[in-house]
């Protein structure tokens, strides 16, 4: 039904797939991407198991580096995996650099709910976990600087009692130290996003522009008539990337949101043999000196892709 927005240019192939990874990898997607110490760096999600089987053996996070953001070299082994009696796995990493330190937000599945974790690293080998939220909350992303003296994150709590099943919205919280979080407030509700009827939430960490914080969102649409879309017998959701502009001083204030999706699954290389088709999930956004914005996204929960757009176009379509 939808097509990607005309301001978007997609690369003609994924930037990273399971075939590129030198260890057991099946689904390579939903990566966090940033620039760190002069290189492009990526932490990607790898669900490993048997291809076309819908049960996976496990999930780890891999690391890859690049000189140009297009050609990536994965490290020899995965770099992050959480498992304990209580924790089932960590996934969907998002990277934000502040003062020379790289912070990684990630989702944590536990036996008692889904939590949002924040860790820090300087070498992508050793990660110190700073905080793990109470359930149910995930899709956390950090702004790249403090705002009015506090760290700020976007997040998506999952209120199943009060909103009915799957009516999830985009929220924001503040912290003095990345450990204690509060001053939580709603940024936008699922009803504010015309292409979502199920849930919305953060995607890649925001980038600063003169007009406001530019931020991708994910918007999910359920259509009960959808049948087989990938490896599962039924996959009825579609995940679209959206784009919005938030106030520089108070990012819980929405200045504008593009009414159409920004990126949708509309290429063969995004969907071919895909685990769950119709899924686009941005996890990284990089503003280059020439005004080009690289948007990295997982496609079909199977491969990692990149698209580009001009910064002024992205801001403009939020305000139209």
Answer yes or no whether residue 276 interacts with ligand BMA by CB under 6 A: yes
Q: Which is nearer to ligand BMA, 71 or 165 (CB)?
A: 165
Q: Which is nearer to ligand BMA, 40 or 239 (CB)?
A: 239
Taking CB under 6 A as the binding criterion, the range among 201-209, 273-281, 286-294, 304-312 that sits at the site for ligand BMA is 273-281
Distance between alpha carbon 250 and the CA centroid of its chain, in Å? 22
Answer yes or no whether residue 270 interacts with ligand BMA by CB under 6 A: no
C-alpha to C-alpha distance for 138 and 147, rounded to whole angstroms: 21
Answer yes or no whether residue 239 interacts with ligand BMA by CB under 6 A: yes
For the chain, helix, strand, coil in percent to 5 are 5, 50, 45
Q: Which is nearer to ligand BMA, 103 or 239 (CB)?
A: 239
Interface pick for ligand BMA out of 18, 26, 92, 245 (rule CB under 6 A): 92
Q: Least distance to ligand BMA from the beta carbon of 316, Å?
A: 28
Q: Least distance to ligand BMA from the beta carbon of 8, Å?
A: 19
**DSSP 8-state symbol, 184:** E
Residue nearest to ligand BMA (CB): 281
Taking CB under 6 A as the binding criterion, the range among 16-24, 80-88, 259-267, 274-282 that sits at the site for ligand BMA is 274-282
Distances (CA, A) of 210 to 246, 311, 316: 11, 11, 12
Q: Which is nearer to ligand BMA, 92 or 271 (CB)?
A: 92
- Element spanning 215, H or E: strand 213-222
* Binding footprint of ligand BMA, residue count (CB under 6 A): 8
C-alpha to C-alpha distance for 18 and 294, rounded to whole angstroms: 21
Q: Least distance to ligand BMA from the beta carbon of 46, Å?
A: 12
Mark 100-122 as b/e (b = at least 16 C-beta within 10 Å): eebbbbbbbbbeeebbbbbbbbe
Q: What is the DSSP string of 89-154?
A: EEEEEEEEEETTEEEEEEEEEETTEEEEEEEEESSSS--EEEEEPPSSEEEEEE-SS-BTTBEEEE
Q: Which of residues 24-43 bind ligand BMA (CB under 6 A)?
A: 30
Answer yes or no whether residue 271 interacts with ligand BMA by CB under 6 A: no
Interface pick for ligand BMA out of 252, 301, 303, 317 (rule CB under 6 A): 301
Residue numbers of the site for ligand BMA (CB under 6 A)?
Answer: 30, 92, 239, 276, 279, 281, 298, 301
């Amino acid at each position: 039904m939808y097509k990607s927005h005309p301001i978007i240019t997609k690369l003609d192939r994924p930037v990273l797939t399971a075939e590129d990874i030198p260890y057991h990898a099946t689904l390579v997607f939903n990566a966090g991407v940033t620039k760190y110490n002069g290189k492009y760096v990526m932490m990607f999600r790898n669900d490993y198991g048997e291809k076309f089987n819908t049960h996976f053996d496990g999930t780890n996070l891999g690391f890859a580096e690049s000189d140009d953001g297009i050609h990536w070299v994965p490290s020899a082994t995965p770099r992050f995996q959480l498992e304990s009696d209580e924790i089932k796995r960590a996934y969907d990493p998002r990277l934000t650099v502040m003062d020379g330190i790289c912070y990684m937000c990630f989702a944590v599945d536990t036996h008692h709910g889904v939590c949002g974790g924040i860790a820090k690293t300087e070498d992508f080998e050793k990660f110190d976990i700073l905080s793990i939220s109470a359930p149910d909350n995930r899709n956390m992303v950090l702004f790249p600087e403090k705002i009015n003296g506090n760290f700020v994150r976007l997040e998506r709590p999952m209120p199943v009692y009060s909103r009915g099943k799957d009516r999830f919205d985009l929220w924001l919280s503040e912290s003095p130290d990345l450990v204690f979080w509060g001053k939580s407030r709603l940024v936008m509700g699922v009803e504010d996003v015309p292409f979502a009827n199920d849930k919305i939430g953060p995607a890649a960490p925001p980038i600063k522009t003169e007009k406001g914080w530019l931020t991708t969102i994910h918007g999910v649409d359920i259509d009960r008539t959808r049948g087989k879309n990938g490896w599962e017998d039924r996959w009825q959701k579609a995940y679209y990337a959206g784009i919005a502009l938030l106030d520089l001083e108070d990012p819980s204030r929405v200045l504008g949101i593009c009414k159409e999706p920004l990126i949708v699954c509309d290429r063969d290389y995004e969907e071919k043999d895909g685990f769950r088709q119709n899924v686009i999930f941005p996890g990284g956004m990089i503003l280059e000196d020439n005004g080009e914005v690289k948007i990295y996204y997982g496609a079909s929960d199977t491969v990692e892709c990149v698209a580009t757009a001009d910064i002024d176009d992205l801001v403009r379509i939020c305000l139209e």
